[in-house]
Amino acid sequence: MTDVTTLGEFIIEKQRDFPGSSGEFSRLLSAIRLASKIVSQQVNKAGLLNHILGSVGTENIQGEQQQKLDVYANDQFIKALTKRKVVCGIASEENDDYISINQEGKYIIAMDPLDGSSNIDVNVSIGTIFSIYKRISPEGSPVTMEDFLQKGTEQLAAGYIIYGSSTMLVYTTGNGVNGFTYDPGMGVFVLSHPDMKIPKDGTIYSINEGNFYKSSKGVQEFIKYAQKIDPDTKRPYTGRYIGSLVADFHRNLIKGGLYMYPNTTSSPNGKLRLLYECNPLAYVIEQAGGEASTGRERIMEIQPTSLHQRVPYYVGSTNMVKKLEEFIQSEE
């Protein structure tokens, strides 16, 4: 392989893109990179190692069964981030409360260490989602809840790692989106998808249609619209739903499409978490030229009120999001 740019080289070259940084972002990303390599290795062995497969018999704060690899991934990311003295606090899907570390640190991390973990046992792509903010509380003091309850517009960086046929790390610092594929032979992430852009018009919609009758009238009408035959608008759209947020999002980012997780009668506030699922992927999609919405407002402008807050989530190609918003808002 010749003429490759590694993730480490790219970060150094683009260091100026991380506001107020003097090497901190390089240390932050190196921690995320290290943990993702370890998790990727274990994911690839999941069918061989019994201690990785299955649940641990406990539930997280969401009331979801924790998988063994959930706990393992959470531990690896916390351990790697703690060793870097630039992080003062971590919020994770797997922990009831935030974790306060390194009072001198400038940044806080919100993360879903292993999104889609219910798919581990059936060998479907899963991922990690992360979001980086600058703390609000004074350096040298313990991190506070206020540090975590910041709008998505305040994110300094965000991204995800997808563990699939290859392992990819995709991130943004507000200056476009770049993707890096892990080369296990070299042991490094290599720039493979520079300046990623999502098509304005997509032809894929991703939703659990089993919840059709639990969804609002606007969402139902959009699905019917998506299924109608209209060659001028390239309909019917293709229905593609993996059931792993990172995997569905990644496909739609590359090919153009819309991911939908509405509020339903059984989940009136939606199911996805604002801080460590919706906001980071909203930042990525906006930087790639797409949009993220609740159907009524921009995701990144929501003022969070709790660590594990849930919201309806529609993210993807701009024109698809806007069309869906028309259907949802017509209910009013």
Spatial contact of 73 and 103, defined as CB atoms under 8 Å apart: no
pLDDT at 47 > cutoff 70: no
**Domain around 310:** 204-329
Looking at residue 11, which CATH number applies to its domain? 3.30.540.10
Extract the tokens encoding 4: 């490759």
pLDDT at 57 > cutoff 60: no
pLDDT at 12 > cutoff 90: no
The reported pLDDT for the residue numbered 218 is 96
Q: Is 222 found in the same domain as 184?
A: no
Looking at residue 244, which CATH number applies to its domain? 3.40.190.80
pLDDT at 21 > cutoff 80: no
Spatial contact of 98 and 126, defined as CB atoms under 8 Å apart: no
The DSSP call for residue 214 is G
Q: For residues 148 and 150, give the distance between their C-alpha atoms in angstroms, rounded to a whole number.
A: 6
Q: For the chain, how many helices (H) and strands (E)? A: 8, 17
Share of the chain residues as helix, strand and coil, in percent rounded to the nearest 5 = 35, 25, 40
Q: For residues 73 and 111, give the distance between their C-alpha atoms in angstroms, rounded to a whole number.
A: 11
Confidence class for position 120, pLDDT limits 50, 70, 90:
confident
pLDDT at 22 > cutoff 70: no
Q: Is 261 found in the same domain as 153?
A: no
Domain limit, last residue, from 159, 193, 227: 193
Number of domains in the chain: 2
Q: For residues 190 and 155, give the distance between their C-alpha atoms in angstroms, rounded to a whole number.
A: 24
In-domain check, residue 171: yes
- Residues β-bridged to residue 183: 188
Q: Which run of H or E residues covers position 226?
A: helix 217-227
Residues 6+ apart with CB under 8 A from 301: 151, 152, 153
In-domain check, residue 110: yes
Residue matched to tokens 């993360």: 111
Residue predicted with more confidence, 49 or 321: 321
Instruction: Give the tens place of pLDDT for each residue, 229-243.
Output: 999 999 999 999 999
In-domain check, residue 1: no
Instruction: Give the tens place of pLDDT for each residue, 135-163.
Output: 999 999 999 999 999 999 999 999 999 99
Instruction: Give the tens place of pLDDT for each residue, 157-200.
Output: 999 999 988 999 999 999 999 999 999 999 999 999 999 999 99
* 299 closest CA partner among 94, 131, 89, 128: 131
A 10 A CB-CB count for 268 gives 9
Instruction: Give the tens place of pLDDT for each residue, 87-97.
Output: 999 999 999 99
Q: For residues 184 and 151, give the distance between their C-alpha atoms in angstroms, rounded to a whole number.
A: 37
Q: Is 26 found in the same domain as 130?
A: yes
Domain limit, last residue, from 138, 162, 193: 193
Q: Is 169 found in the same domain as 51?
A: yes
In-domain check, residue 2: no
pLDDT at 83 > cutoff 70: yes
Rounded alpha-carbon distances, angstroms, from residue 146 to 138, 140, 142, 191, 305: 11, 16, 11, 35, 9
- Residues β-bridged to residue 228: none
- Residues β-bridged to residue 177: 172
| CA-CA-CA-CA torsion sign (295, 242, 245, 92) | positive
